[in-house]
Amino acid sequence: MMGFKTNERNENIMVKQDQFILFDNWKEFGTWLQTKHIKRKIIRVQQHHTWSPSYKHFKGNNHFSLLISMRKYHLKNGFIDIAQNLTIFPDGKIAVCRDFEKTPAGIKGCNANALCIEIIGNFDINGDVMTTIQMDAIIGVNAVLCFKFELCPSVDSLPYHHWYDLNTGVRTFGLKGSVKTCPGSSFFYGNKKESAINNLYHLVSIKLKGLNSMAIITLENAIEVLVNKKIISSPEYWINNCVAGKKINCEYLEKLLKTATRTKSFTDAIEYIYSKFVINSPNYWLINYGINSSRYNGEYVSIMLINLANLLLKQYQPVINNEIKNIKKITNISDAITLFISKGYIKSPDYWKANCKPSKKVIAEYLIILLGKVTGEDTITKIIDYLYSNFIIDTKDYWIKNLNEKNELNGEYVSILLTNLANFIS
């Protein structure tokens, strides 16, 4: 299924010190965020740079000391706590700071129903050059916040500090009044409204398209989601038994799945979660159903529930049984090409079938035209950003080099790309 690639580490994904919670990257922050119920209504996420501390103050291992210093400075200046709800560091790590239930002290006239992000660095012209990993973290954090609070990236939902008069709190977009340059005059190519729309908001929108579900990566978090959605009422049973060497009662699993999918039979529930890529195959589940009060492998059920929780975080709609039959995952280039033909993206399958295979080559110009039609993007850079943000490709480097240089492309690589893309749009 689409969404975050799961992190298979066993250790904790976050580190705590005092009130601060530090995450390795925006995906881990997103996973944590999706399990939290925020009572306060959030309609905007402020964008700030710290200016000081800047890159010269960041040593790579002093995340908490910088946070503590900022909190002390803010308290000294009369704030009730550190001003910001979130801090993003040059190495891409993210810290939760002020409680999300508390209004930030970020922008006069714009703090109500807001969250505040402070980005470590001085991003004025001739200041710090933003690292690639920090840039990706800024885009990712904004995307997961937009996802969580159902926001569309815009001047209203992702405002810059520069746009508000410091004295009156009136939004002037930096055209008049007393204003700061924050988040920096070179922040994503400028701090003006047009720069935000064409750069940061565009990139956040691309990332947002890829967040079909926020990845829950532990059973405990998955169970929390299922409890919150009133699908299960006894989490202890599932936590204790969804492990290797344990078994899950068939009737219990049947009840859970029918409730989650709103289907009337176990078979329909299995068909539905298979169509949504929650399970790789229905065979194990259907074959063992009802055989001597069958009990399913606890480890297999654990994987299923984690995937199911991811699905439910994005979409929880009634299932219409006649719409879930015969929906199959696209696993080969032939099926992908058939889909592209049905949608009018290509007219003839012959070229693609002949060349999307090992030892064959695909002409770059042909692929650019096809990808432009499917993604709706009009430049190679935007096409690659779309593919990477939606996890259709794992790395940008090969595609950036060869598409821009119009080189012939490895047919096997193109086959994998097009198969992944077909699954994404199907």
Backbone angles phi, psi at 154, to 5 degrees: -160, 175
What pLDDT score was predicted for residue 217?
63
What pLDDT band is residue 391 in, cutting at 50, 70 and 90? low
State the amino acid at position 322 in one-letter form.
Answer: N
What pLDDT score was predicted for residue 2?
31
Q: State the CATH class of domain 14-209.
A: alpha beta
Mean pLDDT, rounded, of the chain: 87
Instruction: For 75-93, write each residue's pLDDT tens digit.
Output: 999 999 999 999 999 999 9
More confident residue, 8 or 235: 235
pTM of whole model > 0.85?
no
Residue 133 has pLDDT above 70, yes or no: yes
Instruction: For 236-278, write each residue's pLDDT tens digit.
Output: 999 999 988 899 999 999 999 999 988 889 999 999 888 777 8
Instruction: For 189-203, write each residue's pLDDT tens digit.
Output: 999 999 999 999 999
316 near 267, Cβ under 8 Å?
Answer: no
| Torsion angle defined by CA atoms of residues 73, 79, 81 and 84, in that order, rounded to the nearest 10 degrees | -80
User: Whole-angstrom Cα distance, residue 27 to residue 141?
Assistant: 8
In angstroms, what is the C-alpha Rg of the chain?
Answer: 24
Structure tokens at 412: 């096997």
Mean pLDDT of 387-414: 86
User: Whole-angstrom Cα distance, residue 161 to residue 399?
Assistant: 36
User: Whole-angstrom Cα distance, residue 212 to residue 206?
Assistant: 12
| Segments making up each domain of the chain, as ranges | 14-209, 219-323, 333-425
